[in-house]
A and B are shown apart, each in its own frame.
Chain A
């Protein structure tokens, strides 16, 4: 445990500048998001606005988040989490630490980082719930988290891919494309006319409930497990 703490200390020191930039990017994004919500709220007549319009707004906002995230350092970034070839890993291998210790450090750092983002999103949630319909909020947050967690999973795959197949750049592109595609697919899905005449509001609510279950019962453990496994494999891999 002492070794894990030491490694975490080292990782934190090494990634501090990168993490700070990402956090600042996230906070700027959050601030813009809050301003936009206020703007929407003040300029829209909710009685006249249809669910379809609101969902379209959401789509625009998600695109905006997505681009800003990338510009500001992205919410999750594979180069940050992936064990780097070269000096640091060489050093690690000569130390009496296991691949498990190192993978554990990466996962705990990732979760610690997520707490920061969750804190930010919590602020957004409280603010948004005061101004928007709660159902839209649940929907948007779900999509937001889903994308975030899937991105972690993909990041793990990127790491595996980078180490096993050396297709690093291709994997990053895939990550970015999926990061953009997932929210859009979900929004399009939510805009489908309901076959049984169920009100759209009810439909979105059900979708949100399913997403919530998926997120916390399946996706969170799966993403964390995959991420840990990817890091373990990366650290177990020796240079040839």
Chain B
């Protein structure tokens, strides 16, 4: 395996559509890391992945993989990565056996035995047309292909969307197994954050085409907290620490990014631990409020 520090470095990617834009998207996936790329539907996850893979053109920015410029070394780098799309890109009239022949010629390190062992493990019939597969089987077939050419980096776009819980769990276990030797890396977009609680080392949140944060999962979960208190108690907290506030009939729910600091100023308060879903929801709410405030200011001007 080649020595490199980061599997992916995305630097200030910009891309514009009439109603949407990627706004200087930057994040890094270190080697040996599972990076969860989270955000709501339409937040820009798929567009970012398509931009990174040069499936679509970008306006500006830089993508590096394995410490090399991706656009300059696209073919060589693509031999070392595997991509799993949310919907199968394989034509319905092909079979798994056909894919073995096709990929065998395209990927220098394609391993037929590994591929067939995955087919067996997933209970995929090699001679059945892909069109006849269930959604779960199609995803498993994509994974089988992705894992059969010794790819160092796996890029997955919503791999578990629409799958039943059993299959989802299977997929996650396969990904964990793939990561065992520490030489592989994963970038996985999803809006099902509960999966990332189980497997991700890092998480990047995107909303409206902007990165809100890119951080280690354990740090995020350790530092953030959810306080339920009265409205007037909010003044005791450092405004810099407040991510977002929700008001309900009993008072407020406030997410803070430094739970220890909050515990010092509000020792009587119960500060609940949060999960990635809470973090995602509160950050997106905060971002929306900021955007609304900004557009309000612009309207006033």
Interface residues of A (CB under 8 A from B): 2-3, 5-7, 9-10, 13-14, 17, 87-88, 90-91, 93-98, 238-240
Stretch at the interface among B51-59, B241-249, B251-259: B51-59
A-B contact pairs, 20 of them (CB 8 A): A2-B105, A5-B105, A6-B101, A9-B101, A10-B94, A10-B102, A14-B91, A88-B89, A90-B55, A90-B89, A91-B90, A95-B78, A96-B75, A96-B79, A96-B106, A97-B106, A238-B54, A240-B17, A240-B56, A240-B57
Task: Say whether B118 faces chain A, with CB atoms less than 8 Å apart.
Answer: no
Known: A13-B98, A93-B55, A94-B53. A6 touches B105 (CB 8 A): yes
Q: How far is the CA of A14 from the CA of B103 in the complex (A)?
A: 15
Interface residues of B (CB under 8 A from A): 17, 53-57, 74-79, 83, 85, 89-91, 93-94, 98, 101-107
Check B55–A98 contact: CB distance below 8 A: no
Give the 8 A-B CB pairs with smallest separation, nearest first.
A6-B105, A91-B89, A96-B78, A96-B79, A2-B105, A94-B83, A93-B55, A238-B57
Q: How far is the CA of A2 from the CA of B76 in the complex (A)?
A: 15
Residues of chain A within 8 A of B103, CB atoms compared = 6
Residues of chain A within 8 A of B94, CB atoms compared = 10, 13-14
Check B57–A9 contact: CB distance below 8 A: no
CB proximity of B19 to chain A, nearest CB, Å: 13
Residues of chain B within 8 A of A90, CB atoms compared = 55, 85, 89
Residues of chain B within 8 A of A10, CB atoms compared = 94, 98, 102
Chain A residue at smallest Cβ distance from B149: A96
Residues of chain A within 8 A of B56, CB atoms compared = 238-240
Chain A residue at smallest Cβ distance from B15: A240
Q: How far is the CA of A98 from the CA of B78 in the complex (A)?
A: 11
Check A13–B93 contact: CB distance below 8 A: yes
Q: How far is the CA of A128 from the CA of B77 in the complex (A)?
A: 56
Q: How far is the CA of A3 from the CA of B104 in the complex (A)?
A: 9
CB proximity of A2 to chain B, nearest CB, Å: 4
Residues of chain A within 8 A of B76, CB atoms compared = 96
Check B106–A6 contact: CB distance below 8 A: yes
Q: How far is the CA of A91 from the CA of B79 in the complex (A)?
A: 14
Check B104–A6 contact: CB distance below 8 A: yes
Chain B residue at smallest Cβ distance from A8: B105
**Contact of B75 (CB < 8 Å), options: A14, A87, A98:** A98
Residues of chain B within 8 A of A14, CB atoms compared = 91, 93-94
In the complex, besides A13-B94, A87-B91, A240-B56, 19 extra interface pairs with C-beta distance below 8 angstroms are: A2-B105, A5-B105, A9-B101, A9-B102, A10-B98, A13-B91, A13-B93, A17-B93, A87-B89, A88-B89, A88-B91, A90-B55, A91-B90, A93-B55, A94-B53, A94-B55, A96-B78, A96-B106, A238-B55
Chain A residue at smallest Cβ distance from B90: A91
Chain A residue at smallest Cβ distance from B16: A240
Q: Which of A3, A88, A239 has the most B CB atoms < 10 Å from its CB?
A: A3
CB proximity of A121 to chain B, nearest CB, Å: 30
Q: How far is the CA of A170 from the CA of B61 in the complex (A)?
A: 37
CB proximity of B81 to chain A, nearest CB, Å: 9
Residues of chain A within 8 A of B55, CB atoms compared = 90, 93-94, 238-239
Residues of chain B within 8 A of A240, CB atoms compared = 17, 56-57
Known: A14-B94, A238-B55, A240-B57. A97 touches B101 (CB 8 A): no
**Contact of B89 (CB < 8 Å), options: A6, A7, A94:** A94
Chain B residue at smallest Cβ distance from A91: B89
Chain A residue at smallest Cβ distance from B99: A10
Residues of chain A within 8 A of B105, CB atoms compared = 2-3, 5-7, 9
Q: How far is the CA of A9 from the CA of B94 in the complex (A)?
A: 11
